[in-house]
């Protein structure tokens, strides 16, 4: 079904194939509906039944139909607030005291609950550089977890960040476990857990990386550059082999220089590469974020959190990847060396930062937080925008961007 696909004739509601539509609806009305194809629909309506959206559009004539008036539908007045697609975080390590590396159902429940409460309706379990067995445990647990009733943020799969990265740009990754690409590891994981690994972050300059990039691309896995000292030419070669994504751009990679554009220069200038950004005011200056959004296509910028287990907690001492981290004034850094160590972000905070500080339009940022990550993962037919036929992953925000309600697959996250 496409937008405005329900048909109103003679006081009744019909589906596009001519069948009478009689199911109970959840209807959010009187909102500013943010869509990819129709812009902002003022005073609009989003309606869904079960897991799927059935109507996105204006309210003209909607409530006058006999079918709407005579059935017991759930009506929610948005009171002029914003109605957005749920956020999709493709790069997040943890939150509220838990880490995906724990590889337990209990940790995953707490993580998906925490991030769902901050607007994330779909998520990738992101690993850190670690021994093979530890990574295998995460992949296996994600595989089993996805067969459960996913009550909070939907766990889509795994983002394997490391261990095939550069020791020069290890950032907050544990250098003890950094290795050149091990293709046999990936082949075994893909064979045993097909469809679970969605993104692999590596350093393209490392030995064996180019052939692995090609193989990943052939498997439908997104090859990404990150924690890398790759030159501009090296990145272009990697793109030729299938590389198509840059991880937390500007951070932990070879910088832009006017005589050697480096990894950053390649990401910013090549239309074949999408790019992540951590929008917390510490990792990247707002001016650099604005430059990125001017250089990259509208469908290529992706908002992430890169959140660590300390996200949602107070200042103090924590660990990530076996390394000690100090959080002070909501900034997380390694205790030894002082490198930034992920972030304390949630997606709603990053979303508001992009609007209030970077000064971007809400439709643009919504695409960065929802539509573009869905496109990267190839799930845009199911999620990432408000459109009839897609999953009812929906956020309700107040006019000043306070998060009021989150629905995942049509169910209220806050009421579970």
- What is the tens place of the pLDDT at every residue in 180-192? 999 999 999 999 9
Residue 67 in this model has a pLDDT that exceeds 90 = no
Q: What is the pLDDT of residue 78?
A: 97
Band the pLDDT of 171: cuts 50, 70, 90. Answer: very high
Catalytic annotation, residues? 306
Rounded Cα distance between 125 and 359, Å, is 30
Q: What is the pLDDT of residue 123?
A: 98
248 is in an annotated binding site: yes
The count of other CB atoms within 10 Å of the CB of residue 201 is 29
pTM above 0.85, yes or no: yes
Q: What is the mean pLDDT of residues 238-267?
A: 98
Residue 71 in this model has a pLDDT that exceeds 70 = no
Full set of structural domains in the chain with CATH: 7-84+398-415 (2.30.40.10), 87-380 (3.20.20.140)
Band the pLDDT of 228: cuts 50, 70, 90. Answer: very high
The count of other CB atoms within 10 Å of the CB of residue 148 is 11
Rounded Cα distance between 167 and 175, Å, is 6
118 is in an annotated binding site: no
pLDDT digit string, tens, across residues 291-339: 999 999 999 999 999 999 999 999 999 998 889 999 999 999 999 999 9
349 is in an annotated binding site: no
Q: What is the pLDDT of residue 6?
A: 56
Q: What is the mean pLDDT of residues 25-32?
A: 95
251 is in an annotated binding site: yes
Residue 150 in this model has a pLDDT that exceeds 90 = no
């Amino acid at each position: 079904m496409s937008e405005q696909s329900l048909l109103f004739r003679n006081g009744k509601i019909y589906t596009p194939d001519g069948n009478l539509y009689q199911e109970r609806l959840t209807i959010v009305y009187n909102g500013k509906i943010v869509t990819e194809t129709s812009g902002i629909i003022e005073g609009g309506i989003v309606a869904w039944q079960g897991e799927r959206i059935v109507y996105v559009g204006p309210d003209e004539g909607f409530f006058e139909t006999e079918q709407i008036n005579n059935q017991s539908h759930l009506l929610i007045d948005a009171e002029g607030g914003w109605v957005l697609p749920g956020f999709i975080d493709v790069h997040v390590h943890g939150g509220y005291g838990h880490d995906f590396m724990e590889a337990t159902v209990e940790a995953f429940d707490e993580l998906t609950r925490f991030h769902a409460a901050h607007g994330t309706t779909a998520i990738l379990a992101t690993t850190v550089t670690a021994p093979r067995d530890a990574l295998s445990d995460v992949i296996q647990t994600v595989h089993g977890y996805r067969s459960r009733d996913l009550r909070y943020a939907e766990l889509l799969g795994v983002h394997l960040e490391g261990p095939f990265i550069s020791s020069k740009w290890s950032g907050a990754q544990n250098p003890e476990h950094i290795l050149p690409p091990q293709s046999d590891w990936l082949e075994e994981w893909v064979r045993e857990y097909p469809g679970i690994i969605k993104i692999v972050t590596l350093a393209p300059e490392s030995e064996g990386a180019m052939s692995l990039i090609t193989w990943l691309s052939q498997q439908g896995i997104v090859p990404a550059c990150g924690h890398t000292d790759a030159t501009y030419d090296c990145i272009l070669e990697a793109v030729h082999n299938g590389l198509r994504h840059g991880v937390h751009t500007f951070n932990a990679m070879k910088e832009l220089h006017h005589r050697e554009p480096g990894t950053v220069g390649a990401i910013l200038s090549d239309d074949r590469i999408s790019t992540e950004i951590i929008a917390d005011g510490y990792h990247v200056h707002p001016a650099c974020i604005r430059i990125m959004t001017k250089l990259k296509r509208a469908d290529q910028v992706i908002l992430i959190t890169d959140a660590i287990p300390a996200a949602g907690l107070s200042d103090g001492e924590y660990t990530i990847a076996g390394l000690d981290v100090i959080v002070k004034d909501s900034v997380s850094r390694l205790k030894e060396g002082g490198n930034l160590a992920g972030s304390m972000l949630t997606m709603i905070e990053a979303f508001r930062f992009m609007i209030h500080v970077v000064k971007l339009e809400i439709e643009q940022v919504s695409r960065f937080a929802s539509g573009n990550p869905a496109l990267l993962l190839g799930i845009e037919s199911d999620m990432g925008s408000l459109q009839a036929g897609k999953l009812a992953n929906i956020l309700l925000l107040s006019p000043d961007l306070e998060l009021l309600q989150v629905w995942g697959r049509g169910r209220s996250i806050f009421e579970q």
